[in-house]
Amino acid sequence: MATIALDASDRKELLARFLRYVQVDTQSDENSTASPSTAKQKALAAILRDELAALGCADAAMDEWGYVFATVPGNVPPSRPAAAKVPTIGLIAHMDTYHGTLGAGVRPQVIERYEGGDISLPGAPREAIRFADNPNLARCVGHTLITSDGTTLLGADDKAGIAEIMTVVAWLFRHPEFVHPPLRVAFTTDEEVGRGTEHFDVAAFGARYAYTLDGSDIAEIEDETFCADSALVVVEGHDVHPGYAKGKLVNAVRVAAAIVERLPREFLPETTELRQPYLHPYDLRGDVTRVEVKFLVRAFTEEELMARENALRAIAREVGEAYPGARISVEVKESYRNMAYKIAEDPQVLEVAFEAVRRMGMEPVRRAIRGGTDGARLSFMGLLTPNIWAGGQNFHSVQEWVSLEWMAKASEVSLHLLQVWTERAAT
C-alpha cells in the first residue's frame, strides 16, 4: 500500500505546473454571449488535455465548449466482494479567472521559506501584501509562497485547483499499487461569470459524487454557498439641451445614483460577513437618456434572498416617485442556489471529506462560502459536489497569494478521499 504523501519531486512538479498555468491568460468576460465567453480559455484547455493524455488518460478530450474531461480508471480488484459498489468520483476545477482584474501577463513571484512580514510586489510596490491584513501569513511562515508582481491577479483561483488535480492524476499513475475507485476529472470554463456548468453533461461525466478544489484555507470543507441572483435596474430618462432643460430634462444618471445612494449600508458587501446577506451594485453604465445598473444579490436562504430583492424594488419605486418623469424597471435572474439544500439529502459525500481530512492529522473546518462554485449548480443537477480548499488567498485581487504547502495538502486530501470511498464500498 502506497503512503499517501507527495514527495519532494511531486511538490516540485506541482509548483512547475502551477507557474505554467497562471501565465496563460484565461480571463472570462461577463458581457460576452459566446461559450466559452473568451476563446483564450481554450488555450489552457488544450494544454491540459495534452498533459492528461501524456500522463496516461487515454480518453483525455476538450469539447466544443472548452471543457476538458479525462478518466483515471479504477483498480479495485474484481475479486473484492464490494468491487462493483465502488462509486466513480469526480474532481473539478475551473480554468477561467475573474473578469474584473487584469489576468494577462502574469509574472509570478516565488518566495521560498517565507520568513514573515509584509510581501513586496515588484511591479506595484504600493500593492504590498500586508502581514497585518493577512492573518494566514502567520500560518505559512517557512512555506513557499507564490504571488503575482502586483500588476495582475495571480490566478490561484482556480489554477491552484487545476495544478492540484493534475498532481493527483500524475501520482495515481505513478503508484499503481494504490487501490482507488474510477476517477473522473473535469476542468470547466466561465465559472467566474456564473456559466461554468452551462454545458456540463452530468450523465456523460459519469461520477456518482464529486468535489471542486476551489477553496481557501487548509482543512476547510465547504458544503454551503450563497443563494445567488443577479438584478438589472434600467433607468430611462429624457434628454434635452441643458441650456433649455428646466422642467423638461430627466437625467437618468442622477436617478440611478439616487437608487445606489439609498441602499442601506447594512446591505452592502463591505459591511457584511459570515452568514449575512448582501446587495452589491457592481456595474453602472449609460448616459442621461438611459442607465443600467447591475447588482449581485446574495443570501444563504431563499427567504433572505427574496427580502433583499424586494428591498431593491421598493427603493426603485421610491426613487421613481421622487423623479416622476423617469421610467425604472427591475429584472431579477436566478444564478444558483445554496448547495446545502441538496447535500443534506445524502450527507455521506461530506462525511467522506471530513474523514479524509482527519486521516491527515487535521480537524476539518466546515464552512459556508460567501460566494459560489460550480458545485452549487452541479449539486442541483444531480451531482453532489462540495468544495475542498485549494489554498488561494485574496481572490480576484492583485494581492492574491497561495502557499505551495497548502496546495500539496489539497492534492493529498484528494487521494485520501479516494481511499475512503474505496473502503466505504466494502462495508
**Annotated catalytic residue within 10, 25, 51, 96:** 96
Helix, strand or coil, per DSSP, at residue 424: helix
**Annotated catalytic residue within 191, 214, 223, 309:** 191
Report residue 391 as a C-alpha cell: 489554498
Report how far apart, in Å, the C-alpha atoms of 328 and of each of 171, 290, 310, 317 are: 57, 10, 15, 8
Q: Tell me if residue 191 is catalytic.
A: yes
Distance between CA 185 and CA 162 in Å, rounded? 10
Helix, strand or coil, per DSSP, at residue 13: helix
Distance between CA 66 and CA 43 in Å, rounded? 9
The alpha-helical segments, DSSP class H, found in 23-125 are 41-55
Distance between CA 259 and CA 271 in Å, rounded? 18
Strands (E), 26-106: 61-62, 68-72, 89-94
Closest by CA position to 422, among listed 170, 180, 73, 209 = 180
Q: Which residues contact 312 (CB under 8 A, 6 or more apart)?
A: 231, 233, 279, 295, 297, 330
* 205 phi, psi to nearest 5 deg: -60, -45
Distance between CA 168 and CA 6 in Å, rounded? 9
The alpha-helical segments, DSSP class H, found in 57-191 are 156-174
Closest by CA position to 130, among listed 120, 139, 122 = 120
153 and 396 Cβ atoms separated by less than 8 Å: yes
Task: List, in sequence order, every residue forming a beta bridge with 281; answer none if it has no partner.
Answer: 295
341 and 326 Cβ atoms separated by less than 8 Å: no
Q: What is the DSSP letter of 238?
A: B
Catalytic residues, which ones? 96, 191
